[in-house]
Chain A
Amino acid sequence: MDVAFLNINYLLKAALVTLEMAVATVVLSFIVGTALGVAAALSGRLVRSVLTVYVYVVRGVPVLVLIFIAYFGLPRLGVDAPNYVAATIALVIYFAAFVADIVRGSILAVPKSTVEAGLAIGLRWRQVLMQIQLPLGMRLALPPLVTTASIAVKSTSYASIVGVWELTYASREVVERTLAAFEIFFTVMVIYFCICYPISLCATYLQRRYAAA
């Protein structure tokens, strides 16, 4: 494992890039996804159908293929974007679909009777949304959202295939140089774990704090 320690600085620098991509992906996909999910929960059949189609398409395609499409497709559209931008766009499109579906389902899962109780005391629909449906819905959405965030972080490794210099890419460089495949990949696994584990801890904390429901 000496090999691992010799190269650890290089790998950690790359891990930082992974972290940047992960944060960007999670934040953007959650913002877009939540907006779409809320819209779909509250809107009529048309918006809901659009969202359903979007989710089915995304679920039917490997995220790597989406990254390829973004990487090769953006120049076709005249957009000259660096490879990590293309990869992030693809990841956001991919994960926003899952977030939207989760948020939509969670808002609709808030019992109709609780919503009616809000209406009965004279709340307007906007107040019911902000005071009852969103707070309760997001509590329900927390566990699946954390799982999604976790998967999103790990999916950033696909960006290495289009040449983005992040942890997976750097690990392959080091393996090529040192030929110590197992040791290096094992180390990288530990680094990924260190990035993902806090997300799970965060989730447990948030669930305990807001589990008054």
Chain B
Amino acid sequence: MNNAQPLPTSRPMIEVRGVSKSFGENQVLKSISFEVKEGEVVVLIGPSGSGKSTLLRCINYLEDFQAGEILVDGAAVGYNSSAGGSKRIKQSETEIARLRTKAGMVFQNYNLFPHKTAIQNIMMGPVLVNGESKAEAREHAQALLAKVGLADKANHYPSQLSGGQQQRVAIARALAMRPKVMLFDEVTSALDPELVDEVLKTLRDLSTEGMTMIIVTHEMQFARDVADRLLFFYQGSIIEDGPPNDVFANPKTERFQAFVKRFQSAATAA
């Protein structure tokens, strides 16, 4: 749970308004709308194919969306609307790249740059995008490595690290850009069970420090522990939205009731 008091701000950190997306004939997001306040930890859960990862990837415009708006820290992502609000003008590459620095993303398969060491991976963004000097970037990167518990692995290549270590380097790499929000796309799904905890601990620490986080995960217990709000996705729509205890205690929809039952029986079986 988030212990830090969120700063009082007039606008949400993330606004998703009426976002729809289709892959060809298949509509995967059906007019999704929600907001995330600064410092909030929102967890997206739901069956595979329900659109949660796709929505996450729309937020930093790794996926295009056909309708709706997304705002990160007040700035529109992907498209600017003309004065009337009716026309969507696609943003330039420069704008999109700049907006991506506000949202840090961590991927299921870590996606570290294999030809660079851990510390070089982390330094790339600050040096190439923010124009930091190598010395500054190196110092910051070393601090981030220490923060995720990998201070001694700075000069290791990804191939020399375990999955959990690689994922923590990936988290440090995203944090190096000093993002306003962190997006986590099933970051423990590709890890062996023993390595999952070290990554979840890093996520927990981040949340207590007041980072705004949107997490897509299958780790139900973690979701319940860490989330300020849970959003349940089903076939492209959000059908439950609320604090975890509320949502689990009083599911509004049958689908989620079935989902909860499966989780609880799995939990008791474990």
Binding site for B on A (CB under 8 A): 111, 113-114, 116-125, 127, 131-132, 135-136, 139, 210, 212-213
Contacts of A123 in B (CB 8 A): 97, 124-125, 128-129
Once the chains are docked, how many angstroms separate the CA of A213 from the CA of B113? 8
Nearest-Cβ distance from residue B21 to partner chain A, whole angstroms: 17
Complex contact B173–A136 (CB within 8 A): no
Contact of A120 among B94, B115, B174 (CB under 8 A): B174
Say if the beta carbon of B80 comes within 8 Å of chain A.
no
Complex contact A117–B115 (CB within 8 A): no
Say if the beta carbon of B105 comes within 8 Å of chain A.
yes
In this complex, what residue of A is CB-closest to B108? A113
8 nearest CB pairs, A to B: A117-B111, A121-B125, A122-B101, A122-B129, A120-B105, A213-B114, A113-B111, A122-B100
Other contacts beyond A111-B111, A136-B114: 11, CB < 8 A: A114-B111, A114-B113, A118-B113, A119-B100, A121-B129, A121-B173, A122-B177, A123-B125, A124-B94, A210-B115, A212-B159
Say if the beta carbon of B112 comes within 8 Å of chain A.
yes
In this complex, what residue of A is CB-closest to B160? A212
Binding site for A on B (CB under 8 A): 60, 62, 93-94, 97-98, 100-101, 104-105, 107, 109, 111-115, 124-125, 128-129, 157, 159, 170, 173-174, 176-177
Q: List 28 A-B contacts (CB under 8 A).
A: A113-B109, A114-B111, A117-B107, A117-B111, A117-B112, A117-B113, A118-B124, A120-B60, A120-B107, A121-B101, A121-B125, A121-B176, A121-B177, A122-B97, A122-B100, A122-B125, A123-B124, A123-B128, A123-B129, A125-B93, A127-B128, A127-B129, A131-B124, A131-B128, A139-B115, A210-B115, A212-B115, A213-B159
Nearest-Cβ distance from residue A170 to partner chain B, whole angstroms: 44
Contacts of B104 in A (CB 8 A): 120-121
Contacts of A116 in B (CB 8 A): 62, 107, 111
Once the chains are docked, how many angstroms separate the CA of A166 from the CA of B60? 60
In this complex, what residue of A is CB-closest to B96? A119
Contacts of B115 in A (CB 8 A): 135-136, 139, 210, 212-213
Complex contact B107–A113 (CB within 8 A): yes
Contact of B113 among A119, A132, A210 (CB under 8 A): A132
With a 10 A CB-CB cut-off, give which of B62, B94, B111 has the most chain A CB atoms.
Answer: B111
In this complex, what residue of B is CB-closest to A132? B113
Contact of B98 among A118, A122, A135 (CB under 8 A): A122
Nearest-Cβ distance from residue A128 to partner chain B, whole angstroms: 10
Nearest-Cβ distance from residue B61 to partner chain A, whole angstroms: 9
With a 10 A CB-CB cut-off, give which of A121, A124, A131 has the most chain B CB atoms.
Answer: A121
In this complex, what residue of A is CB-closest to B106? A120
Once the chains are docked, how many angstroms separate the CA of A125 from the CA of B100? 13
Once the chains are docked, how many angstroms separate the CA of A119 from the CA of B177? 12
Contacts of B174 in A (CB 8 A): 120-121
Contacts of B93 in A (CB 8 A): 124-125
Known: A113-B107, A131-B124, A131-B128. Contact between A121 and B112, CB under 8 A? Answer: no
Once the chains are docked, how many angstroms separate the CA of A111 from the CA of B157? 18
Nearest-Cβ distance from residue A165 to partner chain B, whole angstroms: 44
Contacts of B124 in A (CB 8 A): 118, 121, 123, 131
Contacts of A212 in B (CB 8 A): 114-115, 157, 159
In this complex, what residue of B is CB-closest to A124? B97
Contacts of A213 in B (CB 8 A): 114-115, 159
Nearest-Cβ distance from residue A18 to partner chain B, whole angstroms: 36
Once the chains are docked, how many angstroms separate the CA of A202 from the CA of B31? 57
Contacts of A136 in B (CB 8 A): 113-115
Contacts of B60 in A (CB 8 A): 120
With a 10 A CB-CB cut-off, give which of B100, B101, B115, B173 has the most chain A CB atoms.
Answer: B115
Complex contact B129–A114 (CB within 8 A): no
Known: A116-B62, A131-B124. Contact between A121 and B100, CB under 8 A? Answer: yes
In this complex, what residue of A is CB-closest to B110? A117
Once the chains are docked, how many angstroms separate the CA of A40 from the CA of B59? 30
With a 10 A CB-CB cut-off, give which of A117, A125, A210 has the most chain B CB atoms.
Answer: A117
With a 10 A CB-CB cut-off, give which of B113, B157, B177 has the most chain A CB atoms.
Answer: B113
Contacts of B129 in A (CB 8 A): 121-123, 127
Contacts of A122 in B (CB 8 A): 97-98, 100-101, 125, 129, 177
